Amino acid sequence: MNTVHIEHEELGQVDLNLLVVLDALLQESSVTRAARRVGLSQSAVSHALKRLRVLLGDPLLLRTSRGMVPTPRAQQLLAPVHQAVGQVQGVLAPRKPFDPLLSSHSFTLSMQDTGQAGLLPELMQRVHRKAPGVRLQVHPGIGGFQADELACGTIDLALAIDPALPQGFHSEPIFDITYVSIMRTNHPKLNGPLTPEVFSQLRHVAVLHNGLVDPDLERVFAAHSLDLHLALVLPSLLPVPWVIAQSDLVATVPETLLKLLPTDFPIDRYPPPLPLEATSVFLVWHERTHYDPAHQWLREVIRQTSQQTLPLPLRTAAM
C-alpha cells in the first residue's frame, strides 16, 4: 500500500472541501448517496474521489458486484476523518450567543478611583442581577491605559482618560468627569460665597497622578495669579471626603466620587470658583475581544450603567 506524506506547505494547497466529500464517501460507500449527503452532483463527487485517490495514493472505494467496498486504507480513515470533519464543523459553526444567566465568566477591568467610585457600585449591582455567576476583578488604573495588558488579555477592558490609541484598539467615551469643591459643613472660614480669593486662602488636599496634581489646580491657580496652598497630597481619591469632613481643608474632586457617600455626610459641595474643564473617560478594548459575545455584553452593561451616573446637586454656602 502506498502512503503519502503531506508537508505543511502542501497542506495549504489541499481543498478542505475534499475532507467533507471523503467523510461522506466513507460513511455511505456510495458515490450517489455521498453526493446527496453533501449536496453535490454525482459527477462532482466522482471527480473529488479521483482527486482523493491521487492525494492519498489509494483507491479508497472499489466497485464490486455487491456495490462499492472500502479498502483497508479507507477503513482506517473512517473514524478519524469523521471526527476531523466534526471538529472543523464545530470550529466554523455560528458562535453561540452569550447567556449571562448561565455564565461563570471572569472579566478583568482597569479603573482609576473615579471609575471605581462612580461606576463600580452600580455596575456590580447590574452585573449581579443579570449574570449572578460572572466575576469582576478590578485593577487600579495608572493614568493611561495598559496597551500591552489589553493586547495579551491580562486586562479585558480599561477606563482611560483621553487615550491616544495605537492600531488594533477600540474606544468610546462613556462619561465626563466634572469637578466639585468640597468643604466640611459649617466651615469656619466660609461666611459667604466661595470666591477665587477665598479659595486661594484655604489649604487644599490634592491627589498626585503621574507626578501631576489632579485636577491641574496648580496651572489654573497660576493662570489667575493666585497661590495654591497644598496641605496634603494623597495617592488616591477615595479617602479625601473623610479627610475633608474632619478638617478645615478643601478639595476639588470628581463629583462621581461623592456617589459613595450617604446623603447626610457632613460636607458641602460647591462649583469650583476657578474654571476646570470636564475630562472625558473612555472605555478601551483590544481588537481581539471586539467580536466576542461575552465582551460585547459587558461593554453594553457598562454603557447602560454609565448613562445612569447622573450629576449630583451642588450646594452653595448661605449668604
- What's the pLDDT score for residue 143? 53
Q: How far apart are CA 203 and CA 6, in angstroms?
A: 77
pLDDT digits (tens, 9 = 90+) for 271-298: 999 988 878 888 999 998 998 999 999 9
CATH number at residue 245: 3.40.190.10
Mean pLDDT calculated for residue range 147-172: 86
Judge if 171 and 187 occupy the same domain. Answer: no
Residue 7 confidence (pLDDT) above 60: no
Q: How far apart are CA 238 and CA 114, in angstroms?
A: 9
Q: What is the mean pLDDT of residues 80-96?
A: 75
pLDDT-derived band at 14 (thresholds 50, 70, 90) equals low
Residue-number span of the structural domain to which 228 is assigned: 179-270
Of the candidate ranges 31-45, 91-105, 300-314, the one whose mean pLDDT is the lowest: 300-314
List the single range of 1-15, 56-70, 103-117 with lowest mean pLDDT.
Answer: 1-15
Q: Which cell numbers in the block locate residue 172?
A: 468610546
Whether the Cβ atoms of residue 151 and residue 168 lie closer than 8 Å to each other: yes
Question: What integer pLDDT is reported at residue 301 of this predicted model?
Answer: 95
The span from the CA of 157 to the CA of 73, in Å, is 51
- Span 202-223, pLDDT tens digits: 999 998 876 667 778 888 998 9
Q: How many other CB atoms are found less than 10 A from the CB of residue 178? A: 17
Cα separation, 213 vs 251, whole angstroms: 12
Domain count within the chain: 3
User: Residue 279 belongs to what H/E stretch?
Assistant: strand 279-286
115 and 60 housed in the same domain: no
Tell me, yes or no, whether 122 and 251 share the same domain. Answer: no
pLDDT, residue 103, reads 93
CATH number of the domain to which 31 belongs: 1.10.10.10
Burial tier of 256 (Cβ tally within 10 Å: 0-12, 13-18, 19+): buried
Domain contains 44 = yes
pLDDT confidence of residue 142: 57
In a domain, 1, yes or no: no
Q: What is the pLDDT of residue 6?
A: 45
Q: What is each CA distance from 24 to 75, 91, 186, 210, 221, in whole angstroms?
A: 13, 19, 85, 64, 79
pTM above the 0.85 mark?
no
Distance of CA 156 to the CA centre of its chain: 4
Query: If you write DSSP's letter for every residue of 149-188 in order, what string do you get?
Result: HHHHTS-SEEEEES--PPTTEEEEEEEEE-EEEEEETT-T
Domain endpoint, select from 39, 58, 92: 92
Do 113 and 161 belong together in one domain?
Answer: yes
Q: Is residue 100 part of a domain?
A: no
Mean pLDDT confidence for 232-243: 92
Q: Are residues 257 and 288 both part of a single domain?
A: no
